[in-house]
Amino acid sequence: MPEQPRPGTPPAARPHVVLGVGGGIAAYKACELLRRFSESGHDVTVVPTAAALEFVGPATWSALSGKPVAADVWHDVHRVPHVRIGQDADLVVVAPATADLLAQAAHGLAGDLLTSTLLTARCPVVFAPAMHTEMWEHPATQDNVATLRRRGAVVLEPAEGRLTGADTGKGRLPDPGEIFEAAREVLARSGVANPLDLAGRRVVVSAGGTREYLDPVRFLGNRSSGRQGYALARAAASRGAEVTLVAANVTLPDPAGVKVLSVETTAELRDAVLAAAATADAVVMAAAPADYRPAAVSGTKIKKADDGSAPALALQQNPDILAELSHDRPRLGAVVVGFAAETGDETGSVMEMARAKLARKGCDLLVVNDVTGGAVFGSPDNEAVLLDAAGGAVPVPRGSKSALAHQVWDRVVALLDPDPGTG
């Protein structure tokens, strides 16, 4: 992803972001989103609806953005704001996007400054819905969302959790930090010929490292942080995909617009991935499953021996999820991508081991990381070599994990059946 502008950048060089705020209780969370855009050097114009101003007043938006704020088309009329704001925008983000606002946008209504801006904008548009579960699931809302997506807008899936009052369910505004990251992904691809090249696709991504318990408090695990898998999920969502992320022991916030399934063990990871892969166009196994698990698990904590001796630990092999997915595809035509974290030794180099693994696993693409000395783990950056089944090898120089994620999806898109409805 291109480097983002810093505060102090001349206004002409700063991306113009319009932050539309709908009239829902989650409007207060848009203040955090505004802060993130402003502090990362974006020029932000806040356009709230009249209802949004019932939740957060104009003084707050003005103070945080450094600009006057209005909800109707009669403010500053000589500047024709209902046309100019949308025309000048590099990105429009609507958060929260209420059911009413989605309906107005889908039907091309222009009753206030925000809906007029949406009609005049020719830049990428991201909607972050927030509403009660019943409203989100209503066929009318789902039709409106489908219409907006068909026209090229990115409509993030709402999160699950506590809603207004005692209600809990799907409809919660995603974490503002994750909306910001999703918006940056979309903005970074605004010049790409087909930025939503995964629209209509279902993809599965695994992330993190599994744990195999020895007793109630101890486990065998690894150093995978899940950052690369989360970057892959976030990148796929920004490209229009319906994303299921199977996360093994990851403490990162859920990516906006992504369905997250939490697991612990390799067996749980296998079950969740295989179930989700049954309807997926692509599966990217970025998780690090434990190769072995204890042959027996103690029901009580294993006590430390007074004589200094260590207990014998018998291990048995875990299922090979990547090989199973590759050789017995849950869905005909699905693309399968594996990851290989390798270190060279006396038996061969990193690349020699990776090529042997690609042949053994049978996947379409293998992302190879040289992790000698613990490189990559927990870092925001990554470098890799992309190996394909035809023998090709494409090095990806060190950069953000987001940049690597997009390189992977570029290769996946090239391998996908051109018709999402087949397979």
pLDDT value of residue 125: 96
Number of CB atoms found within 10 A of residue 364's CB = 20
Q: Is the pLDDT of residue 335 over 90?
A: yes
Q: For residues 190 and 305, give the distance between their C-alpha atoms in angstroms, rounded to a whole number.
A: 62
State what percent of residues in the chain have pLDDT above 90: 73
The DSSP call for residue 422 is: -
- Over residues 83-109, the pLDDT tens digits come to 788 889 999 999 999 999 999 999 999
Joined together, the tokens standing for residue 74 give 């009669």
Q: Is the pLDDT of residue 416 over 90?
A: yes
pLDDT value of residue 73: 59
Q: Is the pLDDT of residue 12 over 80?
A: no
Confidence label for 292 from pLDDT (cuts 50, 70 and 90): very high
pLDDT value of residue 399: 92
pLDDT value of residue 375: 57
Q: Is the dihedral of CA 291, 251, 202, 391 positive or negative?
A: negative
User: Of 187, 132, 176, 131, nearest to 154 (Cα)?
Assistant: 187
User: Of 48, 44, 40, 46, nearest to 4 (Cα)?
Assistant: 40
- Comparing 76-85, 98-107, 118-127, 225-234, which segment has the lowest mean pLDDT? 76-85
- Over residues 343-365, the pLDDT tens digits come to 878 888 889 899 999 999 999 99
Q: Is the pLDDT of residue 250 over 90?
A: yes
pLDDT value of residue 348: 81
- Over residues 54-90, the pLDDT tens digits come to 999 999 999 999 998 876 655 655 454 567 888 899 9
Task: Return the H-helix or E-strand segment holding 247.
Answer: strand 242-248
Domains of the chain: 12-188 (3.40.50.1950), 202-415 (3.40.50.10300)
Give the 3-state secondary structure of residue 53: helix
| Segment 369-387 mean pLDDT | 79
| Segment 30-55 mean pLDDT | 95
| Segment 26-44 mean pLDDT | 96
pLDDT value of residue 378: 63
Q: Helix H segments across 303-400?
A: 321-327, 350-361
Q: Which residues are catalytic?
A: 222
pLDDT value of residue 79: 58
| Segment 246-255 mean pLDDT | 96
* Phi then psi dihedrals of residue 97, to 5 deg: -100, 110
* Contact by Cβ (8 Å): 217, 201: no
State the pTM of this model: 0.88
Q: For residues 34 and 51, give the distance between their C-alpha atoms in angstroms, rounded to a whole number.
A: 18
